[in-house]
Amino acid sequence: MQPTYLVLFIILSIFIFIFALAYIFSTLVEVHTFLKTKVPYVPTSRRELKSILAQCAICPKDNFVDLGSGDGRAVFLAAKIGALASGFELDLWNHFLAKTKKVLMRSHTNFFRKDFLKENLGKFTVIYAYLMPETVAVLEKKFIAECNPETMAILRQFPFPNLLPTQIFQPRKTKIYVYKK
Ligand SMILES: C[S@@+](CC[C@H](N)C(=O)[O-])C[C@H]1O[C@@H](n2cnc3c(N)ncnc32)[C@H](O)[C@@H]1O
């Protein structure tokens, strides 16, 4: 093998090795988080999120939070509108991705690697959550106990078990449930 090809081969191998390591690491971390939260990481598409934020009229005076914010995409979109925007995420890899994007995009967002079930949600005016039914049921109790009457909760796919939604719409294949207390 010619020296140039050998160098190219080594560089390519290093890239593939780093990529494979990152992939394995992120998968292991996601499995670990899933065992704790019982909620898998399934992102909402940016296109759908844009429709959701527009339909719910999110505006600069809102204090938006994504509960289980994944890679932070909903938080960045809310911040782009001008809202104060935060995300809680337990998964280490997704939290790292969100924090990295925050720096690269110079975005004024807040990301916390915390269990949102242990946080008081009273200061937020808009809550977005894409979770599983069991966690949604616990969130419903927190929404009733901690949030102001003007606070809007936007749930993707799995509705609160008791409260009646004020609005249901379907921007793509999945239903979105909107609640005010
Ligand atoms: C279905 S994903 C949705 C991600 C993002 N909200 C989106 O729509 O693209 C749910 C996320 O919630 C996170 N999660 C579940 N329970 C959590 C908890 N109690 N505290 C913080 N994050 C949690 C999971 O780690 C997962 O990344």
Residue 39 has pLDDT above 90, yes or no: yes
| Chain segment 83-108, per-residue pLDDT in tens | 999 999 999 999 999 999 999 999 99
**pLDDT confidence of residue 29:** 83
Q: Does 86 sit in the ligand 1 pocket, CB within 6 Å?
A: no
Coil, helix or strand for 176? strand
- Using most ligand atoms within 8 A of CB, pick from 93, 130, 174 the residue to mutate for ligand 1: 130
- For the chain, the domains span 1-37, 46-180
Residue 149 has pLDDT above 90, yes or no: yes
> What tokens does 26 get?
């992120």
46-180: CATH topology: Rossmann fold (3.40.50)
Contact 76, 105 (CB under 8 A): yes
Going from the Cα of 8 to the center of ligand 1, the distance in angstroms, rounded, reads 40
**pLDDT confidence of residue 181:** 77
DSSP string, 76-111: HHHHHHT-EEEEE---HHHHHHHHHHHHHHT--EEE
> What is the mean predicted confidence (pLDDT) over 167-171?
97
| Chain segment 107-145, per-residue pLDDT in tens | 999 999 999 999 999 999 999 999 999 999 999 999 999
